Amino acid sequence: MTPSRPLLSRRNRLHIARLLVLTLALFLVLPERPASAGANLIANPGLESIAGDGFPVCWEKSGWGANGHTFEVSADAHSGARSMSVTLTTAGQGDRKAMMLEDTSCAPNVTPGHQYDLSAWYKSSTPNTVMTVFRHDVAQGWVYWTDLASLPVATGWTQQTVRTPQVPANTDQIVWGITIYGNGTLKTDDYTMVDATQPTPDDSCSAGDKCVKGDWQVMPFDSAVRGIHAVVLRNGDVLLIAGSGNDPDAFAAKTFKTAIYKPGTGRFTAVPTPEDLFCAGHVQLKDGRVLVMGGNKDYPAADGGHGYKGLKNSYIFDPATSAYQRVNDMTAGSWYPSATVMGNGDVISLGGLGEDSHGTVATQYFSDAQQRWLGLNEANQTWNFWGLYPSMVLMQDGRLFYSGSHVFGNGTPGSGSSIYDYQAGTIAPVPGLRKKDERDQSMSVLLPPAQDQKVLTLGGGNIETNPDAHRLTDIIDLKQPSPAYTAGPPIPHGKLTGGVAQTGDQGKMYVSAVLLPDGKVFETGGALHNRADPVFEASMYDPATNQFTPGMATDPVPRGYHSSAFLLPDGRVMAVGDNPGNGTFDMRVSVYSPPYLFQGARPQITGLSSANWAYGSANTITVDKPVLKAELIRPAAVTHSSDPNQRFVDLPMTVNGNSIDLNLTSNPNLAPPGWYMLFVVGTNGVPSVAKWVKIG
């Protein structure tokens, strides 16, 4: 400041006035100019030019389903003389939307990797609206991309702005519009689309190898219990369930163990464990308590007279009291059952072994509202045997995708993968999974973001025929009308005991895949044969490029049977367990720091408007630096390479400087209710530490 400086001279003011008049003249003379800093990429954004069909040039009437609807050009405009109006009178199925024409001259051109602020003025009498984006893929043509944000009801003209995620590779144009799917009228006007790409800081990494490979540390203490089941709790602690821990002597002595591990302090707290929860299923309920189902009723008879027997018992572990509380029994014994939380917070459990050690064919349904397992006749039954720990991933329409990933067994029926519609009671095969009978202890993950509805299945073996575990990966896009697995890139080769390099088709079973906050998938651990021959290999899979980056740092501890790896709220990955055939159990804990933790300062979430988020809402956070993206990651509940609830839900951003509104999907099937880790990722690619947020 220079307070002594005199006011502007008359000549200065005249000069400014002249500039201002010139500016005004330019605004009036020049055609269509954006109000914001960057160029508006939309053709006919104010909808003032009308085409021969009576609808605005470069816009079309779009939508699907049987619903009563009208499209109009309205004189009720935000500016100018026209807006577009869509009215739904008998909503129910499908939607309607005024969309930009999927046409090379109308659709805005985009650059892969860039982000765009999409904005429109609107009035809406229904909350059932959403901003929807399609992209032009240079290979596939026009395809659905994503839904960005719900628009609140507005009686007066209101502006909604949302930033797209980074434009995917092979995309040269996008079109977008606002979808209405409830009864009411939606008017829109004055669309803008502006490149909002932020510069990437060129922070140089000085951590050597860690910059690209990351770094493992083996903790200087052992786990207090055999880490067979691991659940990340809503307070950031880790619940490690062993039960008898695959130790028949502990079973005979009724020594059942659980411990809470606090990553911050490295401390373990013992939890009294009411039954042998070894081989149970587990999933977080919407209030953050953990539903544990089934377990080990008995080990196999020494004379081979019977195999493992499943418990019917079920418990809820409450992080607030650090205690298990019994709920009613399941309808059938469940040794190695699946557990998937549904969009309404209920839980469906399938497969496993019953009290008689034979296959459990019941669909077991836990009602969140009633806090009990429904009776056999209260739930829809198909009487299908799904095998052990079948990986059942919740789809965006509420059906379950059986990825084909499972534990044990030899010879899965049909194509080895299917879509299960609980409501209809039907099962429809899904083709394309290679080596379907060598997917024992493979791992499946719903790839980031959940909105993309793609599942990756990695590796696997067969404990009965005991071949070399393979390195195949298969990917499925559940957005397709007829989804089918297609071949993905092979898992990179690793090293076996003694440093022997893997060759040919050698891959891994007992593999772990962990969704990271930067949107990549960390693949680690595994072994080549039935409870033998650990594979020392880790790689980073990028869903955006469909490629593995090989040569990540490897966990020095073997991680085969009964091992797991999972994301901690601080962005690191923790790994526990290994139970080779000789009957030993590795109690070491290792923690991986991914490369992003060496690449610059972490963004801070400095404010959170609320920790309780409703579906379809915008939730304000403040951050201390520019942010590339934000997402919710559901905390792990993993065992035996199986965590079908693991998901990464993108949160499209409305950016106002350091204040960012995060738009949560309206669809609970994309983000089932519960506690999630909220991460933001800085423009340097470094994620924040998570804040905990409760959805639904």
> CB burial class (10 A; 0-12, 13-18, 19+) of residue 556?
exposed
> What is the contact mask toward another protein in residues 464 to 483, using x (rule: CB under 8 A)?
xxxxx---------xxxxxx
Name the strand (E) or helix (H) holding 211: helix 210-213
In the complex with another protein, which residue's Cβ is closer, 160 or 173? 160
Q: Should residue 601 be labelled a site residue for another protein when binding is judged by CB under 8 A?
A: no
Cβ neighbours of residue 211 under 8 Å, at least 6 residues apart?
205, 595, 598, 599
* Tokens coding 294: 């089934």
In the complex with another protein, which residue's Cβ is closer, 266 or 425? 425
Q: Should residue 116 be labelled a site residue for another protein when binding is judged by CB under 8 A?
A: no
Cβ neighbours of residue 658 under 8 Å, at least 6 residues apart?
606, 622, 623, 624, 625
Q: Which of residues 207-246 bind another protein (CB under 8 A)?
A: 246
- The span of 35-43, 166-174, 588-596, 622-630 binding another protein (CB under 8 A) equals 35-43
Whole-number minimum distance, CB 482 to another protein, in Å?
A: 6
Binding residue (CB under 8 A) for another protein from 242, 291, 521, 618: 618
Q: Give the other-Cβ count within 10 Å of 184's Cβ.
A: 18
Q: Should residue 583 be labelled a site residue for another protein when binding is judged by CB under 8 A?
A: yes
Backbone torsion region of residue 229, taken as left when φ is above 0, otherwise alpha when ψ lies between -120 and 50, otherwise beta: beta
Q: Which of residues 532-551 bind another protein (CB under 8 A)?
A: 532-533
Looking at residue 601, what DSSP letter applies?
A: P
Q: Tell me the β-bridge partners of 631.
A: 650, 679
* Tokens coding 50: 């009308």
Q: Should residue 158 be labelled a site residue for another protein when binding is judged by CB under 8 A?
A: yes
- The span of 258-266, 289-297, 425-433, 597-605 binding another protein (CB under 8 A) equals 425-433
- The span of 169-177, 203-211, 397-405, 547-555 binding another protein (CB under 8 A) equals 397-405
Backbone angles phi, psi at 320, to 5 degrees: -70, -35
Q: Tell me the β-bridge partners of 179.
A: 97, 130
Q: How far is CA 411 from CA 228, 383, 439, 464, 508, in A?
A: 26, 18, 10, 10, 19
Q: Should residue 253 be labelled a site residue for another protein when binding is judged by CB under 8 A?
A: no
How many Å separate Cα 228 from the centre of its chain? 23
Q: Should residue 527 be labelled a site residue for another protein when binding is judged by CB under 8 A?
A: no
Cβ neighbours of residue 428 under 8 Å, at least 6 residues apart?
418, 419, 421
Q: Should residue 496 be labelled a site residue for another protein when binding is judged by CB under 8 A?
A: no
In the complex with another protein, which residue's Cβ is closer, 431 or 551? 431
- The span of 4-12, 208-216, 259-267, 626-634 binding another protein (CB under 8 A) equals 4-12
Q: Which of residues 654-683 bind another protein (CB under 8 A)?
A: 661, 664-669, 672-673
- The span of 5-13, 229-237, 323-331, 517-525 binding another protein (CB under 8 A) equals 5-13
Q: Should residue 171 be labelled a site residue for another protein when binding is judged by CB under 8 A?
A: no
Angle (CA) 471 476 479, round 5°: 165
Binding residue (CB under 8 A) for another protein from 55, 116, 134, 181: 181
In the complex with another protein, which residue's Cβ is closer, 130 or 633? 130
State how far the Cα of 26 lies from the Cα of 682, in Å rounded to an integer.
38
- The span of 43-51, 108-116, 591-599, 642-650 binding another protein (CB under 8 A) equals 43-51
In the complex with another protein, which residue's Cβ is closer, 483 or 603? 483
Residues 436/415, Cβ–Cβ less than 8 Å: yes
Whole-number minimum distance, CB 464 to another protein, in Å?
A: 5
Binding residue (CB under 8 A) for another protein from 68, 266, 375, 429: 429
Q: Give the other-Cβ count within 10 Å of 515's Cβ.
A: 26
State how far the Cα of 512 lies from the Cα of 646, in Å rounded to an integer.
12
Q: Should residue 299 be labelled a site residue for another protein when binding is judged by CB under 8 A?
A: yes
> Which residue do the tokens 């790994």 mark?
575
Backbone torsion region of residue 129, taken as left when φ is above 0, otherwise alpha when ψ lies between -120 and 50, otherwise beta: beta
Looking at residue 602, what DSSP letter applies?
A: P
In the complex with another protein, which residue's Cβ is closer, 403 or 599? 403
Binding residue (CB under 8 A) for another protein from 486, 545, 606, 610: 610
* Tokens coding 181: 């799917």
In the complex with another protein, which residue's Cβ is closer, 245 or 569? 245
Q: Tell me the β-bridge partners of 173.
A: 109, 136
Whole-number minimum distance, CB 393 to another protein, in Å?
A: 12
Name the strand (E) or helix (H) holding 425: none
Q: Should residue 157 be labelled a site residue for another protein when binding is judged by CB under 8 A?
A: yes
Whole-number minimum distance, CB 21 to another protein, in Å?
A: 8
Looking at residue 437, what DSSP letter applies?
A: G
Residues 391/379, Cβ–Cβ less than 8 Å: no
Binding residue (CB under 8 A) for another protein from 53, 65, 89, 235: 65
> What is the contact mask toward another protein in residues 362 to 391, using x (rule: CB under 8 A)?
---x-x-x----x---xxxxxxxx--x---
Q: Should residue 94 be labelled a site residue for another protein when binding is judged by CB under 8 A?
A: yes
Q: Which of residues 124-153 bind another protein (CB under 8 A)?
A: 126-130, 144, 147, 150, 152-153
Q: Should residue 556 be labelled a site residue for another protein when binding is judged by CB under 8 A?
A: no
Cβ neighbours of residue 97 under 8 Å, at least 6 residues apart?
62, 63, 86, 132, 177, 178, 179, 180
Q: Should residue 505 be labelled a site residue for another protein when binding is judged by CB under 8 A?
A: no
Binding residue (CB under 8 A) for another protein from 41, 43, 46, 568: 46
Residue 404: closest CA among 338, 320, 354, 327: 338
> CB burial class (10 A; 0-12, 13-18, 19+) of residue 575?
buried
Binding residue (CB under 8 A) for another protein from 14, 218, 424, 487: 424
Q: Should residue 20 be labelled a site residue for another protein when binding is judged by CB under 8 A?
A: yes
> What is the contact mask toward another protein in residues 326 to 365, using x (rule: CB under 8 A)?
----------------xxxxx------xx-xxxx-x---x
